[in-house]
Structure 1
């Protein structure tokens, strides 16, 4: 079993598309009135302006209330430099964290809606 996709909610398609493409390296794929963000076989489905999703969670995801972690293929220093180049502030890190592959080192930052994002680097 593997996680196929999860859902975030965005408030502005253009702003979010640029962020997830440029900062997180997503392929931005049009779907209906909205978009999905894809990395190979992993995907974030997006709810946002003009998208009417059914069915929904009992308490549907809202802009800015997601926590997501992405494995960074490089060093923590490279991840920090990438975020700086993109004008994204690091809120916390580097800090040791336990991820899906074991021990790693993480940097935390926010997407344009305020969702907490993490780049984890594994040794």
Structure 2
């Protein structure tokens, strides 16, 4: 039987400190924090997806074989233009590393702005809106 993938449900992100990472994603990207499971694990929800947060010392079967803080690159899509993205990031005290730059996303041309989370993961915030 052959099948196709529909979408990403969640990703797991290894971080140095779950509390610091969760607070950053809530404050800067407006994600909703969720505690789940008997162990009181932490997830960040947005749209129809979520990010599960782990520390490097947790069960390695929940992450990639060589996962570590600062080893991820994630692209998030927003419904505002890049000027608004940059203004918001600067207002949150987040350094813009690059952008706006043209990119080709899953749905076509988009414009991206790059920054880093507290662990150094590359965070791309992109918009399909024309600037």
TM-score, normalisation: structure 2: 0.85
| Partner residue in 2 for 1:83 | 89
Q: State how 1:37-48 maps to structure 2 within 5 Å.
A: 37-48=44-55
The answer to whether residue 20 in structure 2 is matched with residue 11 in structure 1 is no
**Is the alpha carbon distance of 1:44 and 1:24 closer, same or farther for their aligned partners in structure 2, counting shifts above 3 Å?**
same
User: 1:118 is matched with which residue: 118, 124, 128?
Assistant: 124
For the aligned residue pairs, the C-alpha RMSD in angstroms reads 1.6
Separation (CA, whole Å) in 1 of partners of 2:44 and 2:25: 7
CA deviation after TM superposition for structure 1 residue 49, in Å: 6.6
Structure 1 ranges of 4+ moved more than 4 A: none
**Residues 93, 107 of structure 1: 8 Å contact kept:** yes
Separation (CA, whole Å) in 2 of partners of 1:36 and 1:53: 17
How many residue pairs are counted as aligned between the two chains?
Answer: 122
CA deviation after TM superposition for structure 1 residue 74, in Å: 0.6
Unpaired runs of at least 5, structure 2: 1-5
**Is the alpha carbon distance of 1:54 and 1:95 closer, same or farther for their aligned partners in structure 2, counting shifts above 3 Å?**
same
**Residues 95, 106 of structure 1: 8 Å contact kept:** yes
Q: Which has the larger radius of gyration?
A: 2
Separation (CA, whole Å) in 2 of partners of 1:48 and 1:56: 10
Separation (CA, whole Å) in 1 of partners of 2:124 and 2:54: 21
**SS at structure 2 position matched to 1:71:** strand
Unpaired runs of at least 5, structure 1: none
Deviations 1:22-47 (A, max 9, x none): 11111111132430111131011111
